[in-house]
């Protein structure tokens, strides 16, 4: 009793040693605390508050716990025997040791749900879980303010795109394509001012293309293809003067060709408007206004050409000297193919004009397109012979002339097309037997005489 009273009158300093247990990323911590003696009986050490990056470790473990299928055994080494920064797919910061800055687990056919714990990896800059089998909801992202790359494409995520994604103000790339996302495209995506790539293709969103997307002036690639979008293409997209690729095909968009895109004359290289309900005549100056086009997909719409004047767009496309792919199939193009077809880009690789109402002969100038590997003229009303021009297209791999009224023998040109893989000549008026030199076509895998 006398000793206790004596101690209570003095603040004696002692040193206490405590050890926190080993955890992933924490080999054990010795803590030296100098405390008043009388507090020793009440003190408790909270190891979770120590600066050992255990939060990131716990987040990764929670993410691993939600994985129901790992066919390649990717997570076998995700255990406490190795530092978490050495786990496959995990990249840590050099400036902030132990903090996870990238999680790259793409193409592994993983299944399960994406744990909400991902949202607590506050140093994360890259999250790539693409080409897996993740289902359920999108993970919460609002705390990932350092995130720059978000790629969850090619999964089975079933959710609407939350407005909270705009809290990730440093995002440069957002790819959510090929999932089962629903709802409308949030107009607030326009708050992501740093975006260069936005890809939401092949989902199930509804509604219109938000005009506010025109505020993301940094964007270079915008993919909204193969959804259920309706309405017209907003004029505001004409403000995206850095755009190189615009993919809006496979929707239910209406109206005419969006002339607002002529503002993108210096940048636009790939334009996909296929499989919509776009109509009317194509602008006669399309090739002058968009001279840098490399790929142009206008097939499966209701674009019309009924006279020489309405075919002027085709001649204008000869100004696109870098054009490699051109598809105008399954529209309402009538009449003869203009002779200017031979003036199209000398590097044109793919030309598809099938499924229209084309008539007359195919002029020999088409033989100038020596780099064609695909030529589709099927399902039209074309006549005449083909041997004059077809023999010059020696790089052809795919040739479709079916369902026309072509005449003449086949022997004189087939043997020269040694790169052919697919050949469809059915439902024409060719004469004579199937030529023996078809045996020269060693690559041919599909032949429809």
Decide if 47 is inside a domain. no
388 in the same domain as 337: no
The pLDDT confidence band at residue 6, using thresholds 50, 70 and 90, is very low
The residues that bridge with 327 in the sheet, in sequence order, are 297, 352
Average pLDDT value for residue range 6-22 = 33
CATH of the domain at 390: 3.80.10.10
Residues contacting residue 320 through CB under 8 Å, at least 6 positions apart? 287, 290, 291, 292, 293, 294, 296, 344, 345
Average pLDDT value for residue range 399-424 = 87
What per-residue string of b and e applies to 200-239 under the rule 16 or more CB within 10 Å gives b?
A: bbbbebeeebbebbbbbeebbbbbbbbbebeeebbebbbb
Res 448: pLDDT: 59
Strand order in the sheet with 111-113: 67-69, 111-113, 133-136, 156-157
**Residue 123 has which token pair?**
């140093």
158 in the same domain as 267: yes
CA dihedral 45, 47, 50, 53 (to 10 degrees): 180
The pLDDT confidence band at residue 37, using thresholds 50, 70 and 90, is very low
- pLDDT above 90 coverage of the chain, percent: 76
408 in the same domain as 260: no
d(CA 411, CA 68): 59
324 in the same domain as 276: yes
Res 346: pLDDT: 96
Tens digit of each residue's pLDDT (9 = 90 or more) over 369-390: 999 999 999 999 999 998 878 8
Average pLDDT value for residue range 354-359 = 98
Average pLDDT value for residue range 16-39 = 33
Residue 136 has pLDDT above 90, yes or no: yes
365 in the same domain as 321: no
Average pLDDT value for residue range 268-273 = 98
- pLDDT above 70 coverage of the chain, percent: 87
339 in the same domain as 257: yes
Res 172: pLDDT: 98
Residue 11 has pLDDT above 70, yes or no: no
Res 48: pLDDT: 35
Tens digit of each residue's pLDDT (9 = 90 or more) over 50-109: 334 688 999 999 999 999 999 999 999 998 888 999 999 999 999 999 999 999 999 999
d(CA 249, CA 407): 36
243 in the same domain as 114: yes
Residue 36 has pLDDT above 70, yes or no: no
**Residue 384 has which token pair?**
């005449």
**Cα→Cα distances 443→48, 386, 413, 446, Å:** 65, 21, 16, 9
Task: Find the domain containing 28 and state its range.
Answer: 2-41
Mean pLDDT of the chain: 87
Res 44: pLDDT: 32
Decide if 60 is inside a domain. yes
Tens digit of each residue's pLDDT (9 = 90 or more) over 161-171: 999 999 999 99
Decide if 46 is inside a domain. no
In what helix (H) or strand (E) does residue 297 lie, and over which residues does it extend? strand 295-297
207 in the same domain as 339: yes
Res 436: pLDDT: 74
Tens digit of each residue's pLDDT (9 = 90 or more) over 225-257: 999 999 999 999 999 999 999 999 999 999 999
The alpha-helical segments, DSSP class H, found in 205-352 are: 286-289, 312-316
d(CA 11, CA 17): 19
Residue 116 has pLDDT above 50, yes or no: yes
404 in the same domain as 303: no
């Amino acid at each position: 009793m006398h000793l206790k009273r004596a101690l209570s009158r003095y603040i004696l300093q002692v040193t206490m040693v405590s050890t926190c247990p080993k955890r992933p990323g924490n080999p054990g911590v010795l803590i030296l605390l100098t405390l008043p003696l009388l507090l020793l009986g009440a003190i408790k050490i909270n190891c979770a508050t120590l600066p050992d990056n255990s939060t990131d470790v716990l987040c990764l473990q929670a993410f691993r716990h939600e994985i129901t299928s790992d066919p390649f055994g990717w997570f076998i080494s995700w255990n406490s025997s190795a530092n978490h920064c050495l786990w496959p797919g995990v990249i840590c910061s050099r400036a902030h040791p132990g903090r996870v800055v990238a999680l790259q687990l793409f193409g592994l056919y993983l299944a399960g749900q994406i744990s909400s714990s991902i949202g607590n990896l506050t140093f994360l800059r890259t999250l790539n879980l693409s080409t897996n089998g993740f289902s359920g909801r999108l993970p919460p992202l609002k705390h990932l303010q350092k995130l720059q790359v978000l790629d969850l494409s090619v999964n089975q995520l079933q959710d609407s795109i939350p407005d909270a994604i705009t809290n990730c103000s440093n995002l440069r790339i957002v790819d959510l394509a090929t999932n089962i996302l629903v709802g409308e495209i949030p107009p607030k995506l326009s708050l992501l001012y740093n975006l260069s790539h936005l890809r939401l293709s092949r989902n199930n969103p509804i509604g219109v293309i938000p005009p506010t997307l025109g505020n993301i002036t940094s964007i270079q690639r915008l993919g909204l293809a193969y959804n259920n979008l309706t309405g017209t293409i907003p004029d505001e997209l004409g403000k995206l003067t850095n755009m190189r690729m615009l993919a809006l095909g496979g929707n239910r968009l209406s109206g005419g060709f969006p002339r607002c895109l002529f503002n993108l004359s210096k940048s636009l290289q790939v334009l996909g408007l296929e499989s919509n309900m776009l109509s009317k005549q194509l602008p006669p100056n399309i090739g002058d206004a968009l001279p840098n086009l490399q790929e142009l997909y206008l097939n499966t719409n209701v674009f019309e050409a009924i006279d020489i004047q309405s075919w002027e767009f085709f001649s204008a496309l000869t100004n696109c000297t870098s054009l490699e792919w051109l598809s105008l199939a399954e529209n309402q193009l009538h009449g003869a193919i203009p002779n200017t077809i031979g003036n199209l880009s000398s590097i044109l690789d793919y030309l598809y004009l099938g499924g229209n109402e084309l008539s007359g002969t195919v002029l020999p100038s088409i033989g100038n397109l020596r780099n064609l590997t695909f030529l589709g003229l099927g399902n039209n009303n074309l006549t005449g012979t083909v041997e004059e021009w077809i023999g010059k297209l020696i790089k052809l791999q795919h040739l479709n002339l079916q369902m026309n009224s072509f005449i003449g023998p086949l022997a004189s040109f087939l043997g020269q097309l040694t790169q052919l893989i697919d050949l469809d000549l059915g439902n024409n008026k060719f004469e004579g037997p199937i030529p023996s030199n078809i045996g020269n076509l060693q690559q041919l895998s599909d032949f429809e005489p």
